[in-house]
Structure 1
């Protein structure tokens, strides 16, 4: 066989076996499936102390196949032979011209922690800017003594708003800095003794215009909300009225950054909406779902929109939210293969009816079912922050912190289910990443980019209603995207690699 020919055993790829030490994945290592795979194979593997002994034989692939043994599992045999191919590629220098954008955190020094008034802004370099620091000091003085409904100092809301904006804007540049500064100062004109003139004197005309725009949006929104509560069907917002309100709000804005700041403000308010009375929380969630989520979509802020929708979903339909979170955790849990009696109804779950014209339910009754187990605060905590889904390092840190908290303080089941969903996505990422490492290592010049996402619960719920199917028929709840170059010889290989991750 010539060196350019492909051995018959490499005409297809079987899924590779991967292990991880993360707390959420330890149960996978001890499962019966993995004991079955590795049990009869370990004794047959031969450890070679020098690569020279293998390369000298002139047939590394045959040596790897022989080491696996004819009776070993196909997945193990494939893994061994793929590693052998990678070793040959490295030795020949093919890997040196291959670029792969991995999801793994880069091996660089972690930034030092930065805590501002109790808010963790580690990793957001824009908070080191002198103008941003000055804005925080200005807001600290203006909001001195003010508390939120949660009992936290009001300044924390200002910094959280700026932190959300820091995810959405570049880390440098005048417009980006002014956006974050305006986000920190967005309430000083309405809720303190400071005037717009003092803001302009301290931070410039651009920041003052942004703060004025946000203040105007908030004022109009409050007036219309009060009008609905007094005169229109006890505050229920219809779809036609919501569309008219969206058009009016957009017509009042001459800078899209004003809407961006208002969205960041609303997002943090929704994260802490458990502190409001239930009827008011319901009204705010309904308004957010019908108006502000749509505006986020128009600005292309899909991840932020998804979190807003799930927060509203948790407030408006707590029982459905709780059940869907449990169903997905049951479907994606490693123990599901051997049967999980805790949630056997997950695969037969069907969509719960929802009145599309009005989002009004017996919220108190829904929450009362599990009031002793799950509170609104727990449900909101089970909504994954959008910046975690955008950043690999934050996902890993989130799971590590959740694992540590579980050891010291038991988290609510719905929060643990959210962590399991995120961990399952990380497992898929790692599995595909290993396949890509093997596939691209012997294709010189190939560039590969890998990204992933979790579908929001509200989006899954909407699709279940639209298609009239159960949750087990929603096949894009987790998604991985592989972007390759124009070399078609790798495309088929990658296509099969992706298939093996989900079909194995």
Structure 2
């Protein structure tokens, strides 16, 4: 009886959710659209009727929720809402793309195809998720709605992630932070990007997330009181000038606060721009810019602006369509406050991105967006790059701030901040980049690696004799430059491999060496190389000399070497198979004698940190913290090489950890710190360095500790010393 009652209750809930979806679908107006939406709901309901999510809920809850995000939070129309309802039908049920086209037409078919995951990994080194992501981007030229619906799908998966296993949570959250949040940012979907980042932090660093969230709640009332007082004179001035306006306080997201604390090495209390004031003006399109500048004038008449903090995205909008005027002013209490000024249209575009842009576009060409799609297409057209390389290159430019560079003819080109003169050459054209042999910046000859600044005028000097070299990859940052240099180098590499193979062939013939797998294995073992291709390449570039091979003894066509001890690969493979079957963990310190493992220097994990193992190609297992910056990329792109791991509780092992300490430059303070560490707490120090400027010192101390509890205790004691302002752990 209870079972049938539950089904009846779920059926009522599904109908209620559908009615709620209809209510928020403001762009579904005609009877034809409503019938199409109802049909899609019925098809999805039937297709998923026997399916349940990990949480135990009916699966249909998920597509309805995704459709609601698409309709309410992004504001798309009936085609997108229909596709959101149907997005998992082809992948998870018996319905195929022909059925979709027959019922809903070819537009819906194209979008659903883009949303359907690839079922097989293309190659061993490829990442399934990277390949899926690449496929989504390939559909950009067909329909950008594929990406927007995919982002809505990911957002709902993140909102319901609590029902997943911890290792799954980490993988999905890392993938979200690495790929999907930057893409939402690039599409101008600021609200989605912010929530994706916050939810990712919630699962990758739960303690940090809870701490910042709690502090924001506690300071909410004080912030609102300050905003009210600060806004009062601005409101009066705007009212006198007969402006139609709205003023909001925008609190910084949890993730951006965390990011600032981490990059600036500051405490929550030291971040002055936890919130910003946003002035939204209701104005006609032709009056928007003038009204925004007029409002800026009224604000700065009352509050003193910081001239270095004016940001004008009215004259030159960002590539994702963002338009706004930002200034930072001094309040009467001596606090800097960021003020953002924009029109109602600009605000909607800022929050909902290109989805809102279409609403105001009315058929005109959106050159910024077309340029962005063209840049992605250029990357995709490079046949040499695999999916993981592509995602890494593509992501480089998603989150970057932009600079504006002038050509000799006065045309403006947008590039990510930090771009080199060579990046500019590739941005002009692939051939210009490949043949670039010199650069003039502001009429002066400079190196190709010169970092450009906004306003620079750049002239490229080319030569047909010029060829790219591997050093170029050390300073270019744009995806286009990287992928084209790699492509050119791979062509050259193939030529060198053939040269090396020919040299080896002649040597083998002369020395009567058999062409056998056993001989190849001995050569690779001797030089510790992964493949004969790499061996031939190194011969081709003269990094390996054939006279080294002469020193090996050859008997009856076989190369004789003292074989090194067996590599840990077979042991790792056995462990991986065992782990896949039993879900066992790698226990660091207990069974590690059997494995070649290393503590990764990029994050220096110690016992107590949440960790995982990453299986490298030639370097055994690397142990990383789950919140290591590199972990996000590894979990996103190489999930099949991740090994679950935990620390042993049986052994007292000392691990190296870094501490940064800041304080007032008082006489004897450094002695107090070192005395506490070595004498009172008996902790060994490996290195110590201090620097002092303007009465404040900053020091870095490398110490040996047993685990995170030991480290936290040490840091807590250091904070109690008079004159010490802050003590933080160094992550790498």
**Greater CA radius of gyration, 1 or 2?**
2
The structure whose residues are more often helix, as a share, is 1
For normalisation by structure 2, the TM-score amounts to 0.35
> Which one has more relative contact order, counting CA pairs under 8 Å at least 6 apart?
1
For normalisation by structure 1, the TM-score amounts to 0.49
The structure whose residues are more often strand, as a share, is 2
